[in-house]
Chains A and B, each alone.
Chain A
């Protein structure tokens, strides 16, 4: 136990002191801070102060020279659609509109004309590159204003008017018993983040073991402690570093959110009501156990090579297993109530990327989580047994890469 602690402590210290580790983490944190500042940067570029109301609204000039709307167009400002409408009943030449858009006085313009009894709306924007048609919301708003104007001329009672412009309330319902909560897109993104965190932390174990083998330090090491202690100590040490890395990244994101974004700006992307302490505990558990499975597999492959150039090919099969696990989780998440997604949440190679999000979506029971965690723990014990047995023999081999047949013989070898 003392040796396990010493190996883990040395692994942590050795890793966090590396220049490459410090620089790559600073870059990641820098990117996070930068991403949270994108709205502020865009405002700076636009020359507007952040936080003013104008940043959320689109300024539209509506030119109605024939007064077809009879001064009712400004009602759009009260509809809370994010449009700030200026109405002009005098003609505004195209060049002047162009000038106003370039000077950021307005974002778009609509010129209303009547040709042969047909009302024509000409929508003028800076560029049509990303716009296929006039925004539906704006068309609806203008149509509603015109309809109301015409209805008001019919001399109808308030009830009649009310019946002509009904205010429907909408509700959603599903036939499946599992009720899906949360934003699926955000969950997929977070699943991807969890995959990369697990995969790259686990890969570090292989890299560390291969370094010890190629730098010939391993002979001194295995006379100082047992192979089991080396493998487990490294796995624990790198796992702790990975967890700390994630904690720092999450803390940076939270601080950046508080400092640089307006309150509620992320509400449309992440449903914070689904982020509970239970989900936090489940996510950390799956990160640690998922990491342990892949780290121990990588410990095995790392011990089978003697040259740094062989590391990639030796680790290939584990990378394939990890990618299969990830995609199984990722694609079945598009239909989270499917049997395949439930299977992915149980399968140890995919459950770390899948189960936390089933928990977040509220479509899994605690029993399912416990079964899935139990399967992961059993897998870890089996993989650890195989990896440590092969590691303790393969680690002293030099020369060519240990073949699969040799690994099988090593595992069968009772004299270890």
Chain B
């Protein structure tokens, strides 16, 4: 059940935009769709939502082909846009009605979400008079006001200040609690790490990494070591054959070749009676993994 993308391919003329991509989201939560600019994320999303026809492969939702009649989905595109010369409330009603809501239901939902996202004071204003962040919140409302099962959020936090980012994060968590399937595409790795249990990384149309985020990170050996001590241990580190990247007041950041090397260093320091305040083997962050996988 859930969303299944199997061996999907798409060409634009001679150019291969998406090459045999496969991934699955089988339980509610947030799924991360990552990739560099032009990697094929938007094309994949457009195919998932039926905006573009795929050349080959299968995209299903609960076993049925993804079509508007089979899937109740919401979409926040990366390219933000609302009718500039139309009042906010009128365009929200328009989109709600197009998504199948009756006017009374639409008004109720719009009032709730405008209040929840703190934009109710702008309901009778022309969209062009709103700040970029508030326009983004309005567009986020169009994506969710019809209570969709599948929600695709393309860069949901870009352009938002920290206060509004937190507000949006709260709403996303609320949606997850309600059992929604959310696909999030973002370049903000911290956001992906915060929300996503599973990810897929696309590069030049191909899947370069996919799976459970924790398992992926655990599968990478630690390459950095952070040690905080009361005295200078530069000699001990160098004798152990490790490279110091940074040292500020005996807080060391060290590049290691393997985890065993780090354990040997700790053993030696303990034997020498050196008091260790902090000893942490650093696994690569999602950002590091992303750069390793898609960096030139």
**Chain A residues in the interface with B (C-beta under 8 A):** 3, 6-7, 10, 13-14, 18, 211-212, 215-226, 396, 398, 409, 415-416
User: In the assembled complex, which residues on chain B have CB atoms less than 8 Å from the CB atom of A398?
Assistant: 79
The answer to whether A220 and B142 touch (CB under 8 A), given A6-B94, A10-B94, A409-B13, is yes
User: In the assembled complex, which residues on chain A have CB atoms less than 8 Å from the CB atom of B53?
Assistant: 415-416
The answer, yes or no, to whether B86 is at the interface (CB within 8 Å) is yes
The total of chain B residues at the interface (CB under 8 A) is 28
Ordered by A's residue number, 11 sampled pairs between the chains whose C-beta atoms are within 8 Å are A10-B90, A13-B90, A14-B85, A14-B86, A212-B83, A215-B83, A219-B77, A219-B79, A220-B143, A226-B68, A415-B53
CB pair A223 B51 closer than 8 Å: yes
The answer to whether A3 and B98 touch (CB under 8 A), given A14-B86, A409-B13, A415-B53, is yes
CB pair B51 A215 closer than 8 Å: no
- Alpha-carbon gap, A351 to B94, bound state (A): 37
- Alpha-carbon gap, A42 to B175, bound state (A): 72
B46, B73, B99, B142: which contacts A396 (Cβ < 8 A)?
B46
Name the CB-closest residue of B to A223. Answer: B75
For A13, A218, A219, which residue has the most chain B Cβ atoms within 10 angstroms?
A219
- Alpha-carbon gap, A92 to B84, bound state (A): 74
CB pair B51 A219 closer than 8 Å: yes
Main secondary structure of the interface of B (DSSP, over half): loop
- Alpha-carbon gap, A223 to B91, bound state (A): 15
- Alpha-carbon gap, A409 to B143, bound state (A): 32
The answer, yes or no, to whether B218 is at the interface (CB within 8 Å) is no
User: In the assembled complex, which residues on chain A have CB atoms less than 8 Å from the CB atom of B142?
Assistant: 220
B81, B85, B94: which contacts A219 (Cβ < 8 A)?
B81
CB pair B81 A215 closer than 8 Å: yes
In B45-60, the 8 Å CB interface with A consists of: 46, 49, 51-53, 55
The answer, yes or no, to whether B97 is at the interface (CB within 8 Å) is yes
- Alpha-carbon gap, A221 to B77, bound state (A): 11
CB pair A216 B51 closer than 8 Å: no
CB pair B90 A223 closer than 8 Å: no
Measured CB to CB, the closest approach of chain B to A192, in angstroms, equals 31
Name the CB-closest residue of A to B154. Answer: A219
**Chain B residues in the interface with A (C-beta under 8 A):** 13, 46, 49, 51-53, 55, 68, 73, 75, 77, 79-86, 90, 94-95, 97-99, 139, 142-143
Measured CB to CB, the closest approach of chain B to A230, in angstroms, equals 10
Name the CB-closest residue of B to A19. Answer: B85
CB pair B81 A415 closer than 8 Å: no
- Alpha-carbon gap, A14 to B94, bound state (A): 11
- Alpha-carbon gap, A217 to B55, bound state (A): 26
Measured CB to CB, the closest approach of chain A to B61, in angstroms, equals 14
CB pair A216 B90 closer than 8 Å: no
B52, B82, B90, B99: which contacts A215 (Cβ < 8 A)?
B82
- Alpha-carbon gap, A53 to B66, bound state (A): 79
User: In the assembled complex, which residues on chain A have CB atoms less than 8 Å from the CB atom of B86?
Assistant: 14
User: In the assembled complex, which residues on chain A have CB atoms less than 8 Å from the CB atom of B80?
Assistant: 216
The answer to whether A14 and B83 touch (CB under 8 A), given A3-B98, A216-B77, is yes
User: In the assembled complex, which residues on chain B have CB atoms less than 8 Å from the CB atom of A3?
Assistant: 98
Name the CB-closest residue of A to B78. Answer: A219
A13, A211, A220, A416: which contacts B139 (Cβ < 8 A)?
A220
Measured CB to CB, the closest approach of chain A to B20, in angstroms, equals 17
- Alpha-carbon gap, A3 to B139, bound state (A): 20
User: In the assembled complex, which residues on chain A have CB atoms less than 8 Å from the CB atom of B84?
Assistant: 215
User: In the assembled complex, which residues on chain A have CB atoms less than 8 Å from the CB atom of B139?
Assistant: 220
User: In the assembled complex, which residues on chain B have CB atoms less than 8 Å from the CB atom of A224?
Assistant: 95, 98-99
User: In the assembled complex, which residues on chain A have CB atoms less than 8 Å from the CB atom of B75?
Assistant: 219-220, 223
Name the CB-closest residue of A to B84. Answer: A215
Measured CB to CB, the closest approach of chain B to A121, in angstroms, equals 68
Q: Which 6 A-B pairs have the closest CB atoms?
A: A216-B81, A219-B77, A224-B98, A217-B81, A216-B79, A223-B75
